[in-house]
Structure 1
Amino acid sequence: MSEDKKGILLESGTNELEVIVFVIGSGLFGINVMKVREIIQSPPMVEMPNSHDHVEGIIRLRDEILTVVNLSKVLGFPPSSTLVEDKLIVSELNQMKVAFRVNSVSRIHRISWEQIEKPSDLAQGLQSVTTGVVKLDEQMILLLDFEKIIYDISPEKGMNINQVKALGKRERSNKRIVIAEDSSMLRKLLHDTLSEAGYNHLTFFENGKEAWEYLEFLKQGDKVKEEVQLIITDLEMPKMDGHHLTKRIKLDEELQSIPVVIFSSLISDDLFYKGKNVGADAQVSKPEIVKLIEIIDKLS
């Protein structure tokens, strides 16, 4: 591993990420390098009967069986005319490994989350599967929402109210919780599940920067303790990521006592230390909503 690569892996809270850029059709797309385990040529594949339209089949990679998702189908693009040259991006998210078929992989770019714009401003018809857009070298790179792509294929593997109902009857809580989450789908799921769990005082923000500005506003009126008793943050967000948000909170004398819980698809053994380094009080992997609720209860 190069010294440059080691640097960004060891740093925490810099508000930077590395993006692997890949091609589908005539479009450029990106995935956070932290989600990628390897990039391979497509091995022999077994088609699965009665599978989702976006699922191409399964492959065996060493001792693991992986589902292959065809991103051309997800995006509504024509099928690849160069299947032999296609690549599979083997990813790990939400504690699952999935292989995504792409036409080709170009290079890795290091960028700041500040460079990433909301997809609704620029991405036109691709908003539903896009988390952000970055302009780089006169090119437009769309960052895909891989969690939503997986959820659309297998909703049962995501979080839902039934998981919370299994906890039994719960008392209402007055705890006021601030949540930074860029995915509109996950904001709704979090609202529904946490409300079912008894947490009704929820304030949502689309990224870490908006959440930080809200905290700064409360500080001016000396209302932080009154309005915020716990913060939940995603990691991957335009403008300011969750590690940087957590780092800022924990370095601020007025805010550092507020518990911060990181709730992300990137909570793996390899990355757990990054959240610890910036002072997170707890880290939970999506979609473990019951574990998240248990931690919120404990931090009450």
Structure 2
Amino acid sequence: METGILLESGTNELEILEFRVGSNYYGINVAKIREILPYQVPTPIPNADARIEGIFMPRDEIISIVDLSRVMNLPAAQSTAGDMYIVTNFNNLNTAFHVQGVEGIHRVSWGDIIEPDSTINASGMGMATGIVRIEGRLIIILDFEKIVAEINPETGLKISDVEHMTGRSRVDSPILIAEDSPLLGKMLLDCLKRAGFANIDLTNNGKECWDKLSAYQEQGVLDQKVACVITDIEMPQMDGHHLTKLIKSDEQMMHIPVIIFSSLINDEMRKKGESLGADMQLSKPEIGQLVGAIDQVLQIENADGTSV
């Protein structure tokens, strides 16, 4: 079963694949899925992380397999002929997730997705990015980026890329960020502050970011408060594509640079971002490239006085 990105750009909708791990039901954004394949016995890897079942080679590429039941501390499920591999692509990495069944695809609005509260994602330790009611069932949308980053931290933000930037000249241009992950939001703030950006405001999703922009516009202080917007794509309430569309469709806001910084950047999603007017689009691990992109859109000068 192969999946395609069927939605128009900027509609604030997504498609969720509902799947089963043991007897529990979860969801994943279809935009993260490369394909769905039948289960085949994996080749085990000696001394690998316990959450890695092994590897398989569906074509000419070796892909690691993550055991979701082990990741979520659920009872180990007996592998059967009905098991599937959900092969994902995000952060420029292909990973397979072993599940016990695929239930179907549902089209929903980001506005219908509830952001997990602190009782579910205490101290950023939870694995849910959102919860949605579908046909009377509560479906938990899992944080696959976090699952992979916990197994292999090198797939997360490459903080080492900004370590050498400490001591850069202070930049006071106001930057507004929309990022729903508390953990990634804090890391992003720390990295950008280390790179000299001193005036950063973090919002939890696209709607919260848009509400701030609209309030600043109404107060007549938009340009004093926002010089650049950085947004994730996948967020509850309002996604980054819809936020970009709203900004770039507003005559008083369209001049504000929008940088999409997301794990979902691929050829198809890049085309969507371009069609909506995004100024730049970067894959999430590349925090060093994000600093360069901010320098470019804000026309920050290099130490030798030349423009970036």
The answer, yes or no, to whether TM exceeds 0.5 is: yes
In structure 2, do the counterparts of structure 1 residues 119 and 10 end up closer, same or farther at CA, with 3 Å as the change threshold?
closer
In structure 2, do the counterparts of structure 1 residues 83 and 22 end up closer, same or farther at CA, with 3 Å as the change threshold?
same
Aligned identity (percent) is 45
Higher percent of residues as strand: 1
Q: CA deviation at 1:124?
A: 7.3
- Map of 1:115-126 to 2, 5 A cutoff? 115-120=112-117, 123=120
Matched, 1:43 2:40: yes
Q: Structure 2: where are the runs of 5+ without partners?
A: 299-308
Matched, 1:163 2:161: yes
Q: Distance in 1 between matches of 2:126 and 2:64?
A: 22
Aligned partner of 2:267 in structure 1 is: 269
SS in 1 for 2:62: strand
Aligned partner of 2:65 in structure 1 is: 68
Aligned amino acid, residue 112 of structure 1: S
Aligned partner of 1:12 in structure 2 is: 9
Aligned amino acid, residue 41 of structure 2: P
- Map of 1:58-137 to 2, 5 A cutoff? 58-120=55-117, 123=120, 128-137=126-135
When structure 1 is superposed on structure 2, of 287-296 and 79-88 the one drifting more is 79-88
Q: Distance in 2 between matches of 1:16 and 1:65?
A: 33
Aligned amino acid, residue 223 of structure 2: K
Q: Structure 1: where are the runs of 5+ without partners?
A: none
8 Å contact from structure 2 (residues 165, 194) kept in 1 = no
Q: Distance in 1 between matches of 2:119 and 2:83?
A: 28
The one of 194, 198, 201 equivalent to 2:199 is 201
In structure 2, do the counterparts of structure 1 residues 127 and 119 end up closer, same or farther at CA, with 3 Å as the change threshold?
farther
Misfit runs of 4+, over 4 Å: 121-127
Q: Distance in 2 between matches of 1:233 and 1:174?
A: 19
Aligned amino acid, residue 68 of structure 2: L
Aligned amino acid, residue 57 of structure 1: G
Q: Distance in 1 between matches of 2:198 and 2:158?
A: 17
Q: Distance in 1 between matches of 2:275 and 2:210?
A: 19
Q: CA deviation at 1:17?
A: 0.6
Q: Distance in 2 between matches of 1:270 and 1:185?
A: 27
**Aligned-residue CA RMSD in angstroms?**
2.0
When structure 1 is superposed on structure 2, of 92-101 and 57-66 the one drifting more is 57-66
Q: Distance in 2 between matches of 1:42 and 1:266?
A: 25
8 Å contact from structure 1 (residues 161, 196) kept in 2 = no
Q: Distance in 2 between matches of 1:176 and 1:91?
A: 35
SS in 2 for 1:120: coil
Q: CA deviation at 1:37?
A: 1.0
Aligned amino acid, residue 6 of structure 2: L
8 Å contact from structure 1 (residues 262, 282) kept in 2 = yes
TM-score using structure 1 length: 0.94
The one of 23, 28, 31 equivalent to 2:28 is 31
Q: CA deviation at 1:166?
A: 3.4
Tell me the number of residue pairs that the alignment of Structure 1 and Structure 2 aligns. Answer: 296
